[in-house]
Amino acid sequence: MTQVATLSAGSTITVRNPFNGNVVGDVAESTPSEIATAVARAKIAQQDFRRSTPALRRSLLNALAAEIAADAEDLARIISSEMGKTIREARNEVRRAQNTLKLSGDAATFLDGEALHCAIVEGGADRLATITYEPVGVVAAITPFNYPLNLLCHKLGPAIAAGNAVVAKPSPKAPLTAERLCSLAERAGWPRNLFQVVHGGAEVALSLARSPINLLSFTGGLTAGLALKNASGLVRCLMELGGNDPLFVMPDADLDKAVATTIGHRFEIAGQSCAAVKKLYLHHDIERAFTEKLLAEVDAVEFGDPSLDDTDMGPLIDAAAARNVQERIDATIAGKRGKLLTGGNHTGALFAPTVLSEITADAPVIADETFGPVIAIRTFGDAAEAIAEVNAGEYGLQAGVFTNDHAVIKQFSRDLVVGGVMINEGPDFRAEHVPFGGVKRSGLGREGVRIALREMSEPKVVID
């Protein structure tokens, strides 16, 4: 019996390649009763697993990483075909997913507790408090389309390392990778029902959130996140809800490196990353030189068929997403809130790399998160004013700053109200074991293997 909870008869989700429209697979949408069954099975599996040793958990996670390595090219092809990521980007995601699982396995052996003397209170002189961390139970993991493997592993790895069971619901736009991962977990010898997958859209997500789960980990949009949080009641929620992330380039910056980072971070997966460079702040002293270098590099970006090794950028997830980006660009230009320098057009889901300058603070392309390959240039002279403008926004995920001035680094690091500040790097940089997440409407809690392990555990105090 498969660990994947699917529906034998009923609605079918057809998955199409966003580049050419070809059908690449299908999955059955899960019913409410199947979701309830999956959660019930997960609870039983977790009761057996909760007392497992850290060594066993590490062994299971390493075994799954090994199965991913053996299946790496097929997994990369699935990722590329179902959501349009270039094959090079997909292969990199597969590598990162292996690393995420291995780091989770290592972290399982260091879920340390602590001992505290109680002599601070009357009668506590001879008492010692021991604090340990126990699994929360069943983790519901709801993931987006843009990193269908690694973002699932960022939830799955720490959850298993902490001794939990997982019921995952991937995006209906990219469900095939999660299904393959679940099959690989079976092949790796994972206990039955410890990791299950259900499929569907918003209603399935809400049904899962309302189930008797113990923790909800969600990556996606703000509106969906708020709905899931309300549906889950008092269940603990970890939520990464996106951002409107800035990159600042100061006069002393290495312009060539900053240009390469801007392109790499904004055009990766066609700009559909939560921490991509959504707003590019250029100091007016270097604006002209930077823009000239930028346009030359943008012209060299090869965009098209994501299955080809020499393609730099593939399509958006679908034509509707491309139309949304187009509408934002058109509204920006029509309202005289920006000037188009290159790009600004699409064919189906394939959007040309785009650069806009003279962007105003209220321009539609930056007023809210734009999920597409659009570089929107703001200029500034006073760093404090630029920081204040970013802080006035609703999101606070990450930011990047290019400078070698220590005082400026301290200023940006201290004053930006965000979850992370990357120095001489773009806002989309993350390492698998480092805390990742934001403030304000960018989310609740943090991902990153080490901190997620604690987030997915319950502290227990024993005083003797």
How do strand 398-402 and strand 246-249 relate by DSSP bridges? parallel
341-348 long-range contacts, Cβ below 8 Å, gap at least 24? 341/291, 341/295, 342/295, 342/298, 342/299, 343/298, 343/373, 343/374, 346/316, 346/322, 348/21, 348/315, 348/319, 348/322
- pLDDT for the residue 345: 97
Read off the amino acid at residue 431. Answer: A
Task: Give the active site residues.
Answer: 240, 274
Q: Which whole-number Å values give the CA distances from 236 to 66, 85, 351, 456, in the listed order? A: 31, 32, 38, 9
CB-CB contact of 451 with 103 (8 Å): no
**Residue for token pair 């991937």:** 170
pLDDT band at 124 (very low <50, low <70, confident <90, very high): confident
First to last CA, the chain: 46
Tokens of 454: 């604690």
- pLDDT for the residue 344: 97
Write the pLDDT tens digit of every residue in 366-381: 999 999 999 999 999 9
Write the pLDDT tens digit of every residue in 337-357: 999 999 999 999 999 999 999
Write the pLDDT tens digit of every residue in 289-300: 999 999 999 999
Question: Is 80 exceeded by the pLDDT of residue 6?
Answer: no
Percent of the chain with pLDDT over 90: 95
Q: Which whole-number Å values give the CA distances from 13 to 6, 30, 221, 315, 329, in the listed order? A: 11, 10, 21, 20, 31
Question: Is 50 exceeded by the pLDDT of residue 112?
Answer: yes
Mean pLDDT of the chain: 96
Nearest C-alpha neighbor of 200 from the set 178, 185, 182: 178
Question: Is 80 exceeded by the pLDDT of residue 8?
Answer: no
Q: Which whole-number Å values give the CA distances from 384 to 54, 60, 366, 381, in the listed order? A: 48, 49, 19, 9
DSSP code of residue 135: E
What is the Cα–Cα distance from 68 to 57, expressed in whole angstroms? 17
Question: Is 50 exceeded by the pLDDT of residue 31?
Answer: yes
CB-CB contact of 303 with 349 (8 Å): no
- The neighbour count for residue 399, using CB atoms within 10 Å, is 28
Read off the amino acid at residue 358. Answer: E
Collapse the DSSP code of 283 into the 3-class scheme (helix H, G, I; strand E, B; otherwise coil) and give the result.
strand
Read off the amino acid at residue 226. Answer: L
Question: Is 60 exceeded by the pLDDT of residue 3?
Answer: no
pTM: 0.95
pLDDT band at 110 (very low <50, low <70, confident <90, very high): confident
State mean pLDDT over 263-287.
97
What is the Cα–Cα distance from 386 to 412, expressed in whole angstroms? 10
Read off the amino acid at residue 20. Answer: N
Write the pLDDT tens digit of every residue in 212-259: 999 999 999 999 999 999 999 999 999 999 999 999 999 999 999 999
DSSP code of residue 358: S
Q: Which whole-number Å values give the CA distances from 420 to 157, 243, 275, 437, in the listed order? A: 22, 12, 10, 8
What is the Cα–Cα distance from 93 to 80, expressed in whole angstroms? 10
What is the Cα–Cα distance from 351 to 333, expressed in whole angstroms? 17
Collapse the DSSP code of 169 into the 3-class scheme (helix H, G, I; strand E, B; otherwise coil) and give the result.
strand
- pLDDT for the residue 10: 54
Write the pLDDT tens digit of every residue in 158-210: 999 999 999 999 999 999 999 999 999 999 999 999 999 999 999 999 999 99
Query: Cβ neighbours of residue 50 under 8 Å, at least 6 residues apart?
Result: 134, 135, 137, 163, 164
